[in-house]
Amino acid sequence: MKLPGTCLLICALCGVISGQSNDAGIPVTDRLVIDKCGTCHPRDESGNMQRVSWQRTTPEGWQDEIKQMILRNGLSLTPEEARSIVRSLSADHGLSPEEARPVMYDPERRITEETNIPSERMRECGRCHAFARALEWRRSAAEWKEFSARHTERYKIRAGDEAVAFLTTAAPLHTPQWEAWSTRKVSPDLSGTWLVNAYVPGRGSLYGRIQIDRSAAGEYNTRVELRSVKDGLRIVRAGRGAVFGGYAWRGRSSSDTAVSPPDSLASEAREVMWFAPDQSSAEGRWFWGQYQEFEFNVKIQRRPSGSTLLALDCSALRLGSRSNRISVFGDRLPDKVSAADFDLGTGVTVRSIVSHTPDEAVLDVDVAQSAQPGKRDFHLGASVLHGAIAIYDRIDYVDVRPGSSVAAFGDREHPKGFHQFEAIAYQRGPDGRLHTPDDLELGPVDADWSVQVFHAAEGASSQFVGTMSASGLFTPADKNPGNNFDCWVTAVTKERDRNGEALTGKSYMVVTVPTYVFNGRRYVRDLDRWIDDGPAGGAP
């Protein structure tokens, strides 16, 4: 489902306009925006454009508004004009980096449990979409009130006055962050070589470099070279990206390698990244799949002149273990380096350097039985990998991630929705209890995977829902049984508990249909929206 937007109105409402006087509008100065939007949204003597000047949002928010103007109001735009308008509004009527960062999980298409929103507000807004979709907008009090009225009219789902009051306070038009950013934002120059750390669930860590070259104002070409820490697989990707509002990267990239399995790391991926205001680093998600279920979780930093640590091939070391071989991956590792230059803290000793190149060093490491358990930073000169290795005594339990999920059967129109799982080992923390915040995460462990149906809706034609791969990837069955299934995804590891039993973890998964009709309306899961205009009173 999409939120209705500012451009759904053709005529002004006198009450709305008079109410805007309490919040100073943000003038619209872009000539193309004025020419294309000014007929329905005229400007006043101060340059404020009706509705538009009292709202701010992300590039995705303005893109959706333009789509609505085209579909509902007959606006005619070339693709280049549409891109230019989105770029302009994202810059002058967007969010500051500080406002955007807490809700980045929505444009990154991450499945996130929103626990910081009052339950009453979640019932009003969160049952149809992530609450972040509301918080990505900043509006004046009058605009939030008008938005609520239009939302109710279109979707027949009423948000009370309390919801409007909450959003007016939580997402106001004017904030200190926006006022500061709007006066100091500059056109970024991201050209150059950047270092990349990436994590792919089921595949582990990757590291490498990304070359970013400017192709036009605010637009770039990219070339990425990554190497898998786990198996040494090398991946080369090329793509294009654009920066909106001075910090919001939106792009696409792919590899020339033939793509076969759905989780192939050569697949074309959408890129969403948040650049730090000082343009020294960025983080985000590159994702693909019918449900955006596959991902690179990425962090990049400008390549410095000195040595930089990037990754280790080991996430945990046991107390009392000796002659552990650890591979250290980095950029421009020094030509002359000794074992003493590597530091993992008290009780962990680098005995020798087994091999050494500018990109990789293999170390021989001992851990004293008396070492303090916990996360350790890994140091080489001024470069640090924070929390790189856990020192532990035993594995107490295994947690399967994600803890809950949804996969989807396919049909003639819709590809399958897969899901990737991981088994993560933990040691109980100082409180001595399992599954508490002080538990020590040790990293992924190998497991034997299985899926079991424990409830099937009435009328299911088959109990076979799909298969699990050795790496934890769930693939739905080829035949769509036309029903919902509640399942347990189980990981059995080679690790043993104190009683000698194999450590096992479980995750709850629903395997469902790709589309369904409810109360006269059709919902398509991969589009994440209702696609027709039938009755909406009972829509979830």
Residue 536 lies in a domain: no
User: For 264-267, which contacts have Cβ atoms below 8 Å and span 24 or more sequence positions?
Assistant: 265/200, 265/203, 265/226, 265/233, 265/235, 265/296, 266/235, 266/237, 267/294
The reported pLDDT for the residue numbered 532 is 55
Tell whether 118 and 52 lie within a shared domain.
yes
Tell whether 346 and 278 lie within a shared domain.
no
Tell whether 264 and 331 lie within a shared domain.
no
Over residues 219-244, the mean pLDDT reads: 97
Domain boundary among 120, 150, 184: 184
Please tell me the distance from the alpha carbon of residue 410 to that of residue 326, in angstroms, as a whole number.
43
**pLDDT range class, residue 122, cuts 50, 70, 90:** confident
Tell whether 229 and 171 lie within a shared domain.
no
- Tokens representing 119? 């339950």
Domain boundary among 157, 184, 211: 184
What's the number of CA atoms in the CB half-sphere (13 Å) around residue 417? 21
Please tell me the distance from the alpha carbon of residue 189 to that of residue 142, in angstroms, as a whole number.
38
| Chain segment 342-353, per-residue pLDDT in tens | 999 999 999 999
Range name among 60-74, 225-239, 376-390, 437-451 with the lowest pLDDT average: 60-74
Strand order in the sheet with 473-476: 419-420, 473-476, 466-468
Looking at residue 430, what DSSP letter applies? T
Over residues 416-437, the mean pLDDT reads: 96
Distances (CA, A) of 254 to 5, 110, 225, 264, 266: 33, 20, 11, 10, 6
List b or e across 139-164, with b for residues whose CB sees 16 or more CB atoms inside 10 angstroms: bbbbbbbbbbebbeeebebebeeebb
The reported pLDDT for the residue numbered 15 is 31
Cα angle 293-296-299, degrees, rounded to a multiple of 5: 140
Q: Residue 229 maps to which CATH number?
A: 2.40.128.120
Residue 4 lies in a domain: no
Distances (CA, A) of 93 to 169, 183, 430: 19, 13, 48
Other CB atoms closer than 10 Å to residue 313's CB: what's the count?
A: 17
In the predicted model, is pLDDT for residue 533 greater than 50?
no
The reported pLDDT for the residue numbered 198 is 98
Question: Which residue, among 129, 112, 106, 110, has the nearest Cα to 60 in the 3D structure?
Answer: 106
Q: Model-level pTM?
A: 0.90
In terms of residue numbers, what domain contains 440? 397-522
Q: Which of the two residues, 151 and 539, has the higher pLDDT score?
A: 151
Please tell me the distance from the alpha carbon of residue 468 to that of residue 511, in angstroms, as a whole number.
13
Tell whether 229 and 360 lie within a shared domain.
no
Contact between residue 442 and residue 395 where contact means Cβ atoms under 8 Å apart: yes
Tell whether 269 and 356 lie within a shared domain.
no
Over residues 282-304, the mean pLDDT reads: 97
Over residues 61-77, the mean pLDDT reads: 92
In the predicted model, is pLDDT for residue 517 greater than 70?
no
Question: Which residue, among 422, 367, 416, 409, has the nearest Cα to 392 in the 3D structure?
Answer: 367
Residue 254 lies in a domain: yes
Contact between residue 361 and residue 287 where contact means Cβ atoms under 8 Å apart: no
Across-strand partners of 356?
361
Q: Tokens 């100091």 correspond to what residue? A: 184
Q: Residue 484 maps to which CATH number?
A: 2.60.40.10
Tell whether 139 and 276 lie within a shared domain.
no
Count of structural domains within the chain? 4
Contact between residue 73 and residue 40 where contact means Cβ atoms under 8 Å apart: yes
The reported pLDDT for the residue numbered 17 is 35
CA 293 to chain centre: 10
Residue 237 lies in a domain: yes
CA 223 to chain centre: 21
Tell whether 180 and 244 lie within a shared domain.
no
Cα angle 204-206-207, degrees, rounded to a multiple of 5: 155
Question: Which residue, among 443, 448, 440, has the nearest Cα to 313 in the 3D structure?
Answer: 443
Residue 7 lies in a domain: no
The reported pLDDT for the residue numbered 396 is 96
Residue 314 lies in a domain: yes
Distances (CA, A) of 201 to 205, 236, 297, 478: 9, 19, 9, 24
3-state class (DSSP) for residue 127: coil
Tell whether 237 and 217 lie within a shared domain.
yes
Contact between residue 419 and residue 405 where contact means Cβ atoms under 8 Å apart: yes
The reported pLDDT for the residue numbered 268 is 96
In the predicted model, is pLDDT for residue 14 greater than 80?
no
| Chain segment 86-106, per-residue pLDDT in tens | 999 999 999 999 999 999 999
The reported pLDDT for the residue numbered 126 is 79
**pLDDT range class, residue 18, cuts 50, 70, 90:** very low
Domain boundary among 184, 215, 249: 184
Tell whether 210 and 344 lie within a shared domain.
no
Q: Is the dihedral of CA 517, 521, 522, 525 positive or negative?
A: negative
Most confident of 123-132, 143-152, 362-371, 511-520: 362-371
Tell whether 210 and 283 lie within a shared domain.
yes
Please tell me the distance from the alpha carbon of residue 519 to that of residue 157, in angstroms, as a whole number.
14
What's the number of CA atoms in the CB half-sphere (13 Å) around residue 118? 9
- Annotate 32-69 with three-state secondary structure: HHHHHHCCCCCECCCCCECCHHHEECCHHHHHHHHHHH
Over residues 497-524, the mean pLDDT reads: 84
Residue 215 lies in a domain: yes
| Chain segment 192-225, per-residue pLDDT in tens | 999 999 999 999 999 999 999 999 888 999 999 9
Tell whether 216 and 248 lie within a shared domain.
yes
Residue 2 lies in a domain: no
| Chain segment 453-491, per-residue pLDDT in tens | 999 887 776 779 999 999 999 999 998 888 899 999 999
